[in-house]
Amino acid sequence: MSESTLRIGLVLPDVMGTYGDGGNALVLRQRARMRGIDAEIIQITLDDEVPDSLDVYTLGGAEDYAQRLATRHLTRFPGLQRAADAGRPVLAICAAIQVLGHWYETSAGERVDGISLFDLTTSPQESRSIGELVTDPVVDGLTAPLSGFENHRGGSTLGDDARPLARVRHGVGNGVGDGTEGVVQGSVIGTYMHGPALARNPELADHLLARALGTDSLAPLDLPEVERLRKERLAVGRRG
């Protein structure tokens, strides 16, 4: 691997990969390589310290016990926090949002301290949110609707230092009744969308890639199959 290789950190796939969210790292690698950019995925497991020198990081969903393991590991090895402080992009999916917040409450009612990359807290909703989720982004650099599959019991309340990723068109989103979905704070983006999210939302993938590469824009990719997937999933959300 050369110094010019884009290094994509797949963080704790052994415990934070319940819903196939490791596919987000694969999407980033493939979209980079299709543009002639060398890219490699660095897997960071519970056996590894978390490096602070990678170019972009992804974390996936998990259940309560796995969340606890991930929280302990990221607290013990705070490389992700240092990377975020340095402005490196991070994508957090579902339970990872909760781990990156100030605290989250488990289904058993226990409150667990997070790592505070997000100014948010998470408590259980009355019922589980399951189904297609379609939203309209409200952050600079994103214009296309976002879609994914949500499956979570947690409801995340954003504090003053955090802002939502999107407004819900169909589905539940953050689950606190304000019509918001996801969270953005600094270079860190969180969403409750599985799918994997970046396979269904190429604009979001390229947004993260551009930031990792230190550029304002990337050469477009002509991928009709991706557009077909997007249209199909958005249509499912409208029918739902």
Active site residues: 94, 194
Non-local CB neighbours of 182 within 8 Å, separated by 6+ positions: 97, 135, 164, 165, 166, 173, 174, 189, 190, 191, 192, 193
Decide: residue 183, CB within 10 A, 0-12 exposed, 13-18 middle, 19+ buried: buried
CA atoms within a 13 Å half-sphere pointing along the CA-CB vector of 122: 33
33 is in an annotated binding site: no
Return the structure tokens found at 143: 């214009």
In the block, residue with structure tokens 């969340």? 67
Q: Shortest CA distance to 124 belongs to which of 108, 148, 101, 102?
A: 108
CB 212 within 8 A of CB 56: yes
Question: Binding site for substrate: residue ranges?
Answer: 128
Question: Binding site: residue ranges?
Answer: 128
